A and B are shown apart, each in its own frame.
Chain A
Amino acid sequence: MKVKVIARNPDDYVRETKLDIQRVPRNYDPSLHPFEVSREYTRALNATKLERVFAKPFVASLDGHRDGVNCMAKHAKSLSTLLSGSCDGEVKVWNLSKHECVRTFQAHEGFVRGMVVRYCGASFFTVGDDKTIKQWKMESPGYGEEEEPINTILGKTVYTGLDHHQNDPVFATCGQQVDIWDEQRSSPIRSFTWGVDSFSSVHFNPVETELLASCASDRSIVLYDMRESTPLKKVIMTMRSNTLSWNPMEAYYFTCANEDYNLYTYDMRYLAKPIMVHMDHVSAVLDVDYAPTGKEFVSASFDKTIRIFAKDGGHSREVYHTKRMQHVICIKWSADNKYILSGSDEMNIRLWKANAAEKLGVLAPREREAANYSQKLKEKFQHHPQIRRIARHRHLPKTIYHQTKELRIMKEARRRKERNVRKHSKPGSVPVVSEKEKHVVTVVK
Chain B
Amino acid sequence: MASPGEASVDETHVGKKKKQPARYWQELQEEERKDENKVKNDAEQSKEAQQQEEDETQKAKKRKQDQSPSDGEKVKPGKSDPFPGPAPIPEDRLQKFKRKDKLKKPHRKQHKLRDIIARSEDASEMAQKQAARFDLLLPEEAGFLEGDEDEDTCMISQEDIAEAVDITSGAKYFNLKLSQFGPYRLDYSKTGRHLLLGGRRGHVACIDWTSKQLMCEINVMESVNDVKWLHSEAMYAVAQKKWLYIYDSNGIELHCIRKFNDVLRMQFLPYHFLLATASATSFLQYLDVSVGKEVAAICTKTGRLDVMCQNPHNAIIHLGHANGTVTLWSPNQKEALVKMLCHQGGVRSVAVDKTGTYMVTSGMDKKLKVYDIRAFKPLKSYFLPAGAACLSLSQRGLLSAATGDVVQVYKDVCSMPVTKPYMAHRLRGTVWGLHFCPFEDVLGVGHGDGFTSMLVPGAGEPNFDGLDANPYRSAKQRQEWEVKALMEKIQPDLISLDPTELAQVDQATWEQRHQDRVEVLGFDPLAKEKFVPKYKKKGRSSAGAIERRKKQVAHEEQRDVIRKSVEDKVKMEKERKERERKKAALSTQKSALDRFKK
* A contact residues vs B (CB 8 Å cutoff): 1-8, 10, 12-14, 22-39, 41-43, 46, 384, 416, 419, 423
The answer on a CB contact under 8 Å between A32 and B488 is no
Residue of A3, A29, A32, A33 near B457 (CB, 8 A) is A3
20 extra A-B contacts, CB within 8 A, seeds A26-B467, A34-B271: A1-B151, A4-B144, A5-B441, A6-B142, A6-B441, A7-B169, A8-B140, A25-B463, A26-B134, A26-B466, A27-B464, A29-B96, A29-B135, A31-B355, A32-B468, A33-B465, A34-B499, A35-B315, A39-B488, A419-B521
The answer on a CB contact under 8 Å between B466 and A23 is yes
Q: A14: which B residues are within 8 A, CB to CB?
A: 472, 474
Q: Tell me, yes or no, whether B178 is within 8 Å of chain A by CB.
A: no
Nearest Cβ distance between residue B51 and chain A, in whole angstroms? 47
Question: Which B residue sits closest to A31, measured CB to CB?
Answer: B355
Count of chain A to chain B residue pairs whose CB atoms are closer than 8 Å in the complex: 142
Question: Which A residue sits closest to B503, measured CB to CB?
Answer: A37
Residue of A7, A27, A35, A419 near B499 (CB, 8 A) is A35
A-contacting residues, B489-543, CB 8 Å: 489-491, 494, 499-503, 521-523
Nearest Cβ distance between residue A388 and chain B, in whole angstroms? 13
The answer on a CB contact under 8 Å between B138 and A27 is yes
Complex alpha-carbon distance, A4 and B455, angstroms: 10
A-contacting residues, B360-405, CB 8 Å: none
A-contacting residues, B462-483, CB 8 Å: 462-468, 470-474, 476-477
The answer on a CB contact under 8 Å between B488 and A42 is yes
Residue of B165, B172, B472, B522 near A3 (CB, 8 A) is B165
Complex alpha-carbon distance, A36 and B172, angstroms: 33
Complex alpha-carbon distance, A346 and B148, angstroms: 93
- Asked, given contacts A3-B144, A28-B134, A35-B490, whether A22 binds B165 with beta carbons under 8 Å apart, the answer is no
Complex alpha-carbon distance, A8 and B473, angstroms: 14
Complex alpha-carbon distance, A13 and B144, angstroms: 23
Q: B470: which A residues are within 8 A, CB to CB?
A: 13, 24-25
Complex alpha-carbon distance, A5 and B437, angstroms: 13
Per-residue CB proximity of B164-200 to A under 8 Å, as 1/0? 1110110010000000000000000000000000000
Nearest Cβ distance between residue B148 and chain A, in whole angstroms? 6
Residue of B148, B314, B466 near A24 (CB, 8 A) is B466
A-contacting residues, B131-159, CB 8 Å: 131, 134-135, 138-148, 151, 156
Complex alpha-carbon distance, A24 and B471, angstroms: 11
Interface centre among B138, B164, B488, B491 (most CB of A within 10 A): B488
The answer on a CB contact under 8 Å between A6 and B140 is yes
- Asked, given contacts A1-B156, A5-B165, A6-B441, whether A28 binds B140 with beta carbons under 8 Å apart, the answer is no
Question: Which A residue sits closest to B440, measured CB to CB?
Answer: A6
The answer on a CB contact under 8 Å between A32 and B139 is no
Complex alpha-carbon distance, A419 and B466, angstroms: 63
The answer on a CB contact under 8 Å between A6 and B465 is no
Q: A24: which B residues are within 8 A, CB to CB?
A: 466-467, 470
Q: Tell me, yes or no, whether B161 is within 8 Å of chain A by CB.
A: yes
Nearest Cβ distance between residue B463 and chain A, in whole angstroms? 4
Q: Tell me, yes or no, whether B450 is within 8 Å of chain A by CB.
A: no
Q: Tell me, yes or no, whether B54 is within 8 Å of chain A by CB.
A: no
Q: B16: which A residues are within 8 A, CB to CB?
A: none
Q: A27: which B residues are within 8 A, CB to CB?
A: 138, 461, 463-465
The answer on a CB contact under 8 Å between A5 and B461 is no
Q: Tell me, yes or no, whether B260 is within 8 Å of chain A by CB.
A: no
Complex alpha-carbon distance, A8 and B466, angstroms: 14
CB pairs A–B below 8 angstroms (7 shown) = A3-B143, A3-B165, A6-B169, A13-B471, A24-B466, A30-B99, A34-B271
Question: Which A residue sits closest to B502, measured CB to CB?
Answer: A37
Complex alpha-carbon distance, A35 and B502, angstroms: 10
The answer on a CB contact under 8 Å between A3 and B465 is no
Q: B440: which A residues are within 8 A, CB to CB?
A: 6
Complex alpha-carbon distance, A13 and B466, angstroms: 9
The answer on a CB contact under 8 Å between B151 and A38 is no
The answer on a CB contact under 8 Å between B464 and A42 is no
Interface centre among A6, A24, A34 (most CB of B within 10 A): A6
The answer on a CB contact under 8 Å between B271 and A39 is yes
Question: Which B residue sits closest to A2, measured CB to CB?
Answer: B146
A-contacting residues, B303-359, CB 8 Å: 312-315, 354-355
Complex alpha-carbon distance, A429 and B168, angstroms: 91
Complex alpha-carbon distance, A2 and B151, angstroms: 11
A-contacting residues, B32-87, CB 8 Å: none
Nearest Cβ distance between residue B219 and chain A, in whole angstroms? 33
Q: Tell me, yes or no, whether B160 is within 8 Å of chain A by CB.
A: yes
The answer on a CB contact under 8 Å between A5 and B143 is yes
What 7 A-B pairs have minimum CB-CB distances, sorted nearest first? A24-B466, A13-B472, A5-B441, A5-B143, A2-B146, A28-B131, A27-B463
Nearest Cβ distance between residue A231 and chain B, in whole angstroms? 35
The answer on a CB contact under 8 Å between B138 and A1 is no
Residue of B143, B465, B491 near A42 (CB, 8 A) is B491
The answer on a CB contact under 8 Å between A25 and B464 is yes
Q: A419: which B residues are within 8 A, CB to CB?
A: 521-522
The answer on a CB contact under 8 Å between B143 and A38 is no
Question: Which A residue sits closest to B269, measured CB to CB?
Answer: A35
Complex alpha-carbon distance, A24 and B131, angstroms: 16
Q: B457: which A residues are within 8 A, CB to CB?
A: 3-5
Complex alpha-carbon distance, A36 and B494, angstroms: 12
Residue of B439, B465, B477 near A26 (CB, 8 A) is B465
Complex alpha-carbon distance, A1 and B165, angstroms: 11
Complex alpha-carbon distance, A6 and B151, angstroms: 23
Interface centre among A3, A4, A26, A423 (most CB of B within 10 A): A3
Q: Tell me, yes or no, whether B22 is within 8 Å of chain A by CB.
A: no
Complex alpha-carbon distance, A261 and B489, angstroms: 44
Q: B499: which A residues are within 8 A, CB to CB?
A: 34-38
The answer on a CB contact under 8 Å between B494 and A41 is yes
Complex alpha-carbon distance, A1 and B159, angstroms: 13
- Asked, given contacts A6-B460, A7-B168, A32-B468, whether A46 binds B502 with beta carbons under 8 Å apart, the answer is no
The answer on a CB contact under 8 Å between B477 and A3 is no
The answer on a CB contact under 8 Å between A2 and B490 is no
